Amino acid sequence: MEFLPLFHNLRGALVLVVGGGEIALRKSRLLADAGAVLRVVAPEIGTELRELIDRSGGEQILRGYSQADLTGCVLIIAATDDEPLNAQVSADARQRGVPVNVVDAPALCSVIFPAIVDRSPLVIAVSSGGDAPVLARLIRAKMESWIPPTYGHLAGLAARFRHQVKNLFPNVQQRRAFWEEVFQGPIADRQLAGQGAEAERLLQAKIDGEPPAATGEVYLVGAGPGDPDLLTFKALRLMQQADVVLYDRLVAPAILELCRRDADRIYVGKQRADHAVPQDQINQQLVVLAKQGKRVVRLKGGDPFIFGRGGEEIEELAAHGIPFQVVPGITAASGCAAYAGIPLTHRDHAQSVRFVTGHLKDGTTDLPWKDLVSPAQTLVFYMGLIGLPIICSELIKHGRSADTPAALIQQGTTTNQRVFTGTLANLPQLVAEHEVHAPTLVIVGEVVMLREKLAWFEGAQASV
C-alpha cells in the first residue's frame, strides 16, 4: 500500500493553492466543501475562483509564488502548468513537513486526492495511488449508482443516536450487532424512503426496548418495459432486500434475476382471458404477506400507475394499514417509443400524447373515439393487439385519415424487439403477415414517420 487513506478535518484550516486556473478551481471546490479557508496565489485568478475564495473567508494574492506563502498552512496544493514551479512548491512544503499535492505529478506528492463519493456524513474515497486516476473515477461512478444519496441521511440518523446506543451497549460487539440490525431492517427502510421522523421513532422505540411491530411493508415497483438498465436505483435497492417477490408476466427474466437470490418468488401474471391469479386475490395476498412481517416487492412491468392496477392494490393496502412505497418505472409508451426511434411529441407533428388502453375492464373496446382523432396528437395503445382491427376502423370512421402513420412495437427495449410501421389502413394486415404477438405497443400519429431517420436500437430487430 503506497498511500495510507486518511480523512482530514480541514474546517477552518488555512490551505494554500498555487495557481489560478481551471485545475486550481476544481481542487479549491473540494477544499471549500470541506470547510477550508483558501489562500490562492497566482498572477491571474479566475472570477469563479475569486468568488470561492471570498466565500471561504480566505485571501487571493495576485503575484507569483513565494516560499513565505506556506506560512500557517496545513496543506499545500500546486495546480499550475509550470513544472519547475510545481517542483519548487513540493520541495518547500516537504522541507517544512507540510502535506503537499501536485496535480498530475504523483512523484511530487506526499498526499493525493481520491475520487470521492459524497453522501455526507458518509464519505467514500477511491484511489489508485495516482497511477490510474481515470480508473478510480470510473469505479467512483459505479459506486455513485450503487449508493443512494439517502444513505447520508441514514448515517446522520445513526449519529443522532450514537451516544444513547453507546450508553446502552458498553460492549463494542453488542453495538455492532445492534447497528447491523438497524441498517438492514425497517428503520433503515423508513429513513431511505424519506420518512425520517418515523425512522427516529422506530429507533427510539428499539432503544427503549419496545417490541417491534409484526407488520411488514409492500414495495410497488415499476420494472420498466424490459431492458434491465432502465430500472431506477431505488427499484434495484428494494428488489434486493425483499423477502417475497410477486411478479407479472411482463417482467423480463433478466430483471427478475436482479431480485434477492433467496427471496420467495410468486408468479401472479395475467394476460387476456387468462388470469393466473385474480386481482382481488393478489390484493389479499399482499396484505397477508405484509402482516406476516415480510418485505414484499410487487414487481410490475412498465409503471405500476399506468394501466398496471397499482392503484387498486395500494387501496387495499391502505385499507388494512399496511405501509407501502411506490417506485415509478419507465412506462412502455416512453421506453418502447424511444428504443424504436419514435418521439412521442414533436413541435412539427404532435403537441400532445395520449395513453389509451386497448380494452376496458369489461373486455370491450368502447373508447371515446371523437376525442382520439386530433391530427396533432400521438396515440399510444396498450394491450391493443386483439382489438386492433376495431381500433383502426373506428379511428378512420371518426375522422382520422387512413394514411395516418402507425407502428407496432413488439417486446420493446429488449434484444427481441421488432418494429413494424405502416398506416391505420394496413396495420391489422401487418399483424397477420408478421405474426406479431403480445406484448406489443401500438403508436398512431405523424411522429411515426421520424423512425426512418431516428431509429438507433436495431439489435435483433426487423423493420418494415
pLDDT, mean over the chain: 92
332 labeled part of a ligand binding site: yes
Task: Give the mean pLDDT of 424-449.
Answer: 95
How much is the pLDDT for 363? 63
> What is the chain's Cα-based Rg?
30
How much is the pLDDT for 460? 41
Q: Quick one: pLDDT band at residue 459, thresholds 50, 70, 90? A: very low
How much is the pLDDT for 190? 87
Residue 409: CB partners within 8 Å, gap ≥ 6?
336, 337, 339, 340, 417, 418, 419, 440, 441, 442, 443
Query: What do you get for the CA distance between the two ends of the chain, in Å?
Result: 59
Q: Cβ–Cβ contacts within 10 Å for residue 124, how many?
A: 15
List, in sequence order, every residue forming a beta bridge with 59; answer none if it has no partner. 39
269 labeled part of a ligand binding site: no
DSSP single-letter state for residue 197: H
Q: Quick one: pLDDT band at residue 436, thresholds 50, 70, 90? A: very high
pLDDT digits (tens, 9 = 90+) for 289-329: 999 989 999 999 999 999 989 999 999 999 999 999 999 99
pLDDT digits (tens, 9 = 90+) for 368-424: 999 999 889 999 999 999 999 999 999 999 999 999 999 999 999 999 999 999 999
449 labeled part of a ligand binding site: no
Q: Quick one: pLDDT band at residue 145, thresholds 50, 70, 90? A: confident
187 labeled part of a ligand binding site: no
Residue 119: CB partners within 8 Å, gap ≥ 6?
147, 149, 151, 152, 155
142 an active-site residue? Answer: no
301 labeled part of a ligand binding site: yes
pLDDT at 142 over 90: no
d(CA 122, CA 216): 28
How much is the pLDDT for 360? 64
**Weakest mean pLDDT among 1-5, 237-241, 407-411:** 1-5
440 labeled part of a ligand binding site: no
248 an active-site residue? Answer: yes
Q: Quick one: pLDDT band at residue 125, thresholds 50, 70, 90? A: very high
pLDDT at 272 over 60: no
pLDDT digits (tens, 9 = 90+) for 68-113: 999 999 999 999 999 999 999 999 999 999 999 999 899 999 999 9
How much is the pLDDT for 281? 94
How much is the pLDDT for 463? 45
Distance of CA 273 to the CA centre of its chain: 35
44 labeled part of a ligand binding site: yes
Please check whether residue 133 is in contact with residue 115, taking contact to mean a CB–CB distance below 8 angstroms: yes
Kindly report the backbone phi and psi dihedral angles of residue 435, in degrees, each rounded to the nearest multiple of 5, phi listed first.
Answer: 50, 55
Q: Cβ–Cβ contacts within 10 Å for residue 180, how many?
A: 10
How much is the pLDDT for 248? 92
303 labeled part of a ligand binding site: yes
Q: Cβ–Cβ contacts within 10 Å for residue 20, how many?
A: 24
Q: Choose the most confident range, by mean pLDDT, from 78-92, 192-206, 270-284.
A: 78-92
Q: Quick one: pLDDT band at residue 462, thresholds 50, 70, 90? A: very low
How much is the pLDDT for 229? 93
Q: Which helix (H) or strand (E) holds 39?
A: strand 37-41
423 labeled part of a ligand binding site: no
Pick the catalytic residue from 227, 248, 294, 300: 248
Residue 115: CB partners within 8 Å, gap ≥ 6?
125, 126, 127, 133, 136, 137, 139, 140
38 by DSSP, 3-state: which? strand
Closest listed residue to residue 270, CA positions, set 191, 207, 359 = 359
23 labeled part of a ligand binding site: yes
**Weakest mean pLDDT among 6-15, 108-117, 268-277, 420-429:** 268-277
Q: What percent of the chain has pLDDT over 70?
A: 95
Model confidence, pTM? 0.72
Pick the catalytic residue from 270, 274, 300, 453: 270
How much is the pLDDT for 184? 82
d(CA 104, CA 10): 22
For CA atoms 139, 141, 146, 152, the dihedral sign is positive
Q: Cβ–Cβ contacts within 10 Å for residue 254, how many?
A: 13
Q: Quick one: pLDDT band at residue 245, thresholds 50, 70, 90? A: very high
